[in-house]
Chains A and B, each alone.
Chain A
Amino acid sequence: MKNLLKFITCGSVDDGKSTLIGHMLYDAKILFTDQKRALELDSKIGSRDGHIDYSLLLDGLMAEREQGITIDVAYRYFTTPNRSFIVADTPGHEQYTRNMAVGASFADLAVILIDATQGVLMQTKRHSRICSIMGIKHFVLAVNKMDLINYDNHRFEEIKSEFLSLTAGYNLESVAAIPVSATEGDNLTVNSQNMSWYKGLPLLPYLEQLNISGETDCGYFVMPVQRVCRPNRTFRGFQGQIESGILKKGDELTNFPNKEKAKVKKIYKGDLETETAVFGEPITVQLDREVDVSRGCVLVKNTETEVTDMFTATILWMDDSELLPGRSYLLKLGTKILPASVMVIKYKIDINTGKHIQADELFKNELAQCDISVSENIVIDKFSKIKILGSFILIDRITNMTSACGIVEHSLRRSANVVWQKTDITREIRANQKSQNPLTLWFTGLSGSGKSTLANEVEKRLISLGKHTMILDGDNVRHGLNKNLGFKEADRIENIRRIAEVSKLLNEAGLIAITSFISPYEKDRENAREIIGESFVEIFVSTPLEECENRDVKGLYKKSRNGEIPNFTGVSSPYEIPKKPDITIDTSKIDIDQATESVMKVILKRIE
């Protein structure tokens, strides 16, 4: 008996995938009778023309039955005397591309359906491309609905040769083309009388006899460590699955990425000790000496293995929100999870035509080649060589959604391959990395109005939300950057200009700048707005003079009334009330929590 065959069916919406599998199972007599009875009953309710609707066997979800289409992968299990099968029936709609990719990542073989009346369509191209990218090496082209074109041999040959030229560039081990009719049952389990010109095997016998070498095996032992097993002080074992090669007692292993070496002392398969273990087996390995091994490390029997913190990959974006270069995601490769970001989208790949397109963003169901950087050195290899070290997912750090899947093309050694031009890292990339939109929160108001207290509270709230901020106030600016400035009008103007320029730099760095200065002149604030641009948010703390003077926290009003401070705003120097502030807060009317809330309400929308 042959080993397990995992395959997917794909094709466009009305190509009849579900019908094909349903009918094949029915004819192969591998349905349970109660499933058969349910099918015959269901068909009476929702049938097409009173015949048995074989697709009802597979389209399990209520929503699908209502819409008459497949929206997610359904897995079916069947065994013939010759082989066990798992079939993933995948959706054909472009909007469910990611669900199709899920099915493809699981399978060894793809049955690609084409409607004989339609020929090779965009969807055919898209599905073939996804299957190939996800690592499927065996294709079967099932040209369906042959009954509708009078079983025309000539048309079949045309479609077949068009398909073969389409897939010529793919890394495939086998391709077969079979003319079928899913509704009529032609060439599903036995050769069809209607197409005596077809000399090949019918679909099911073909799938039964095909040799599948299985997963890729790069030739040497590789095991990503899933967990460290420490039941007691004396036992320390490393648990994982052998992803390639074989392991024998006494073998020397290298632990990556730290490249420490040790010999294999004991191997356990389950609860039994063993001398050797092979590809695919879950094991526990004990080493002959203390090595710093933890989850995410990779034990390898080859010292040439590559570690890198940058690589080029092909990714499929699967999230509703778009990919932003520079933004931090979590990357899972093998058993390693670490922060990563897409540095550059090199080009988008048109999923239908394969054309390369310039792009700065990537949306759901789009493919692209890009450069990815990770926060530390990890073990990678080409996907075509070893799946486990060449495939990864990106996880959104806030929603936890699996945002993308990708395959490694090749590593990039930072020093050797990539010289970043100055312009490569932009304000946007830095901001995306921090998952925020930089702003300058410009608090203006009289001395004692509560600017600094409020600015301080707002900063605390932002930090607690995981935002990145920097506050500029009298204390950290007057004593350093601006210590050569006095309180004359020219000095005040220069003071504000410098603060505005620094705020702009902070915004460029992706940070949220918070400034808290009296900044009494409209002209100066306008100047600051001009320097900072659209990130500028003017927050007028409008607490009335009497209240400020009442509070007189620092005793400055008293001093200025006594004539000890010249040019004191509100007393001996004017405060020009902002004409159109973005936010106005009077701290004599509301408490600090309410004030903070009012500010947060406005700015959060602009930060996200």
Chain B
Amino acid sequence: MRQLSHLDQLESEAIYIMREVAAESEKPVMLYSIGKDSSVMLHLALKAFYPEKPPFPFMHIDTTWKFKEMIEFRDRKAKQLALELIVYSNDEGIKKGINPFDHGASYTDIMKTEALKSGLNKYGFTAAFGGGRRDEEKSRAKERIFSFRNNAHAWDPKNQRPEMWKLYNTKINKGESIRVFPLSNWTEKDIWQYIRRENIEIVPLYYSKVRPVVFRDGNIILVDDNRMKLLPGEKIENKKVRFRTLGCYPLTGGIESEADTLDTIIDETLGAVSSERTSRVIDHEANASMERRKREGYF
């Protein structure tokens, strides 16, 4: 009998998880961050429920500092697929002018973590799909596929609910919620191979192109709009760069690369000498910073 390939196995697992949540959870939502993992998640959700549309809305936590191309991509996709898209921002943070240049770690806390929590609370979502993978970072490596959060959205890594076989227990009490990670067992390589196999459209920022950038603290930062202020000694250079992960442009380092097709991106990734999170600036703040953020409710 025909055996499923490695990618087929991962796809099956993710679809199974999405269907379980749709069937059992009262009010699910899919967090949509516009990145390649979100593109894979969206693709899987369309497959999982076909011919029905995904039976839940998509929510983007917009820090207002995302790359312009991301926002264009998001709005075009939502329209094309007639998705129910919720865009949520922390208005209070915007009013106070919280920004990644001046506010460092508290920027992430306020515009991402807090915004996510209040967005989920506002709509009363009981389960939120996220595209997190266990190969991304050490504390994620320990997280269950169904990750329970108390009414303050906090994660208790020392007392995780046992997850046996594929018998997911989605029961929660009022006020609690679940973060669900259908891509837990995928690696970055799997994601890219799946994007190629399924011909999934991704934000053009992943492809190398000549872009205006600034070299800052060892990172290559894109000058995406005029809110990017140059520090003394810095100058804007045009470099052929691409991005391995997408987030807020001031916090996302690019890499110099010639890879401008899917195949060359994949070749470059598979031979990569750095794991992808090195291009995320926040992870370097302190040892185990991700685990702290997760306990406090970050995805």
Contact = CB atoms under 8 A, between A and B. Distances in A.
A159 B198 CA distance: 50
A282 interface: yes
Interface string B157-190: 1101111111101011100000000001101010
Q: Per DSSP, are chain A's interface residues mostly helix, strand or loop, or mixed?
A: mixed
Contact of B138 (A60, A268, A282): A60
A207 interface: no
Given A4-B6, A226-B16, A278-B2, A400 B141 contact: no
Contact of B134 (A77, A391, A405): A77
Contacts of A330: 171
B52 A84 contact: no
Nearest to B186: A77
A72 B156 CA distance: 12
A99 B162 contact: yes
Given A32-B273, A75-B141, A246-B1, A332 B169 contact: yes
B49 interface: yes
A387 interface: yes
A281 B4 contact: yes
A74 B160 CA distance: 12
Contact of B12 (A42, A282, A337): A282
Given A278-B1, A278-B2, A284-B50, A395 B169 contact: yes
B169 A393 contact: yes
Contacts of B173: 399-400
Q: How large is the interface on A (under 10, 10 to 19, 20 to 34, 35 or more residues)?
A: 35 or more
Contacts of B134: 75, 77
Given A77-B185, A402-B169, A270 B19 contact: no
A590 interface: no
Given A280-B4, A281-B12, A391 B46 contact: no
Contacts of A441: none
A400 B171 contact: yes
B279 to A, nearest CB: 10
B47 to A, nearest CB: 4
Nearest to A35: B275
A224 to B, nearest CB: 10
B53 interface: yes
A391 B23 contact: no
Contacts of A60: 138-139, 141-142, 291
Interface stretch (A180-188, A227-235, A248-256): A227-235
Contacts of A71: 158
A99 B158 CA distance: 10
Interface string B133-167: 01100110110100000000000011011111111
A79 B272 CA distance: 13
A362 to B, nearest CB: 15
Contact of A62 (B162, B163, B187, B288): B288
Given A73-B142, A280-B4, A402 B164 contact: yes
A13 interface: no
18 contacts: A33-B273, A58-B141, A63-B157, A72-B158, A75-B134, A76-B135, A101-B162, A226-B16, A239-B19, A239-B48, A240-B19, A268-B51, A278-B4, A280-B9, A281-B4, A284-B50, A393-B169, A402-B164
Interface of B: 1-6, 8-9, 11-12, 15-16, 19-20, 22-24, 46-53, 134-135, 138-139, 141-142, 144, 157-158, 160-167, 169, 171-173, 184-185, 187, 189, 272-275, 278, 287-288, 291
**5 smallest A-B Cβ distances: which pairs?**
A60-B138, A270-B47, A400-B171, A231-B52, A32-B275
